[in-house]
Amino acid sequence: MTRVPPRPTETLRRAAGSLGVLDWIRVAVLVLGLVFVATGLLPADTARSSVGRIAPLLLFLFSVIILAELTKEAGVFDAIAQRMARAGRGNYAALFLLCVAFASLTTIFLNLDTTAVLLTPVMLALAARARIATLPLAMTTVWLANTASLLLPVSNLTNLLAADRVALETRAFAARMWFPQVAVLAVTMALLWVFYWRRRMRGEDTYDPPDPAPVRDRVLFSSTGVACLLFIGAILAGVHTGIQLGVAATVAAVVAVVAFAVRDRSVLRPTLIPWQLMVFVTGLFLVVPTLERFGLDDVMRGLVGDDGGVAGVFRAAFSGAGLSNVLNNLPAYVAGESAVPASNKDQLLSLLIGTNVGPVITPWGSLATLLWFEWCRRWDVRVPMRTFVFAGTVVAVTGCAAAVGALLLTG
């Protein structure tokens, strides 16, 4: 019997049915932005300028997420997590330090969304295999996806925008932000231990290290590992602009794609494409400029101010953190950036600190936090919202204060 192919309308209906609530929100943001352009609320020239600014960054996001996804498929993240758990030898303090290092390095070099999208399921699977509480590992991932994203331009999309605004290449950016990053990591580690990792919260004195799992395909494992090292090497070599990072990430992703094309084509499916991120970011960069034309600029100037002194620097950080938790950190940064005078570089970097470190209070504070909540839902991980909001507020306030203080000390 001949199989009748589905009609286009049926295919669209199935695709629409597979979209989650977050997907529909992302699509709605883009549609709203396009409506603003079509109706003239956002002039076409302004829209082209806004999208043109983020085009290289979209190439970077597109490529680095595919690179990270294929690296996960090759088992690299799983192998690191398993070796990390075995290296801890059943000691929770050792496991804690290893998890912090793993999540921080992933965020720093492969972007905070990579940590949220790919490291979260790895950590949750590790918790199941080692028969340990899931919440400490999960919270380590989401907090460090945000708070460990200060050091390099690639660590966060907001960093790429800020680095371009203050004209800092990778090494200069890292030289300016290393002390704030160390300060906020110290705060994050202390609060992770107090709220989630101490004996009373985790429930056990020791854990059983999981047995090592064999690598499925050593060629894919090695190829994707080399691709990641190539990308990290490009960053360390001084690649820093949006287009340079996009090209570096694309080259590394191509290495991984070619390896899978030869060894396992079944993995190369359309779901690898991070369309949700592309749609959401593009939509935001149409919606936010429109809102700026109709009063958001004035609101942000009132919140952030134009004082480049100590008080103004702290004010910018906490305004950015607060608005991030009300809206989202990306529009909060973009709107805040337009309110900061070009000469106030410390004020702009403190705004960046607020929008990177601060969005850990509400589930929508950053895209990384949204993605993390989605993974927790899929794995049936219960996240007590009262504790999440309270602990997140403590992290946001103390982390921003510590990071801004460190920024001023090295200014």
In this predicted structure, what is the pLDDT of residue 11?
A: 46
Number of neighbours of residue 271 by Cβ within 10 angstroms = 9
DSSP 137: H
The DSSP element (H or E) to which 241 belongs, if any, is none
Query: In the structure, how many helices (H) and strands (E) does the chain have?
Result: 20, 0
Predicted local distance difference test score (pLDDT) of residue 88? 85
Per-residue pLDDT of the chain (411 residues; tens, 9 = 90+): 444 455 545 544 555 556 777 788 889 999 999 999 999 999 999 999 989 888 887 888 889 889 988 998 998 888 888 888 888 888 889 999 999 999 999 999 988 988 887 788 888 888 887 788 889 999 999 999 999 999 999 899 899 889 989 988 889 999 999 999 999 999 999 999 999 998 777 667 788 887 777 888 999 999 999 999 988 888 777 666 667 878 888 999 999 999 999 999 999 998 888 888 889 889 988 998 898 888 887 888 888 888 888 999 999 999 999 999 988 898 889 889 988 988 899 999 999 999 999 999 998 899 889 889 878 877 788 899 999 999 999 999 999 999 999 999 997
In the block, residue with structure tokens 């231990």: 193
pLDDT for position 394: 98
pLDDT of residue 278: 87
Question: CB-side exposure of 66: number of CA atoms within 13 Å?
Answer: 29
Neighbours of 245 (CB within 10 A): 26
Q: Tell me the C-alpha distance between 384 and 222, whole Å.
A: 40
Query: What amino acid occupies position 202?
Result: R
Residue-wise burial string across 73-82, b where 16 or more C-beta atoms lie within 10 A, e elsewhere: bbbbbbbbbb
Sign of CA dihedral 392, 162, 337, 110: negative
Greatest extent of the chain over all pairs of C-alpha atoms, in Å: 77
Q: What is the distance between the alpha carbons of residues 353 and 347, in angstroms, rounded to a whole number?
A: 10
Cβ atoms 73, 170 nearer than 8 A: no
Contact by Cβ (8 Å): 179, 409:
yes
Tokens of 100: 């912090």
Cα–Cα dist 122/119, whole Å: 5
Q: At what angle do helices 345-357 and 310-326 cross, to 10 degrees?
A: 30
- Are the C-beta atoms of 59 and 250 separated by less than 8 Å? yes
Which residue's entry shows tokens 């490529």?
A: 63
Task: For helices 157-166 and 329-339, give the axis angle rounded to 10 degrees.
Answer: 10
DSSP assignment of 42-98, as one string? S-HHHHHHHHHHHHHHHHHHHHHHHHHHHHHHTTHHHHHHHHHHHHHTTBHHHHHHH
Q: What is the model's pLDDT at position 2?
A: 46
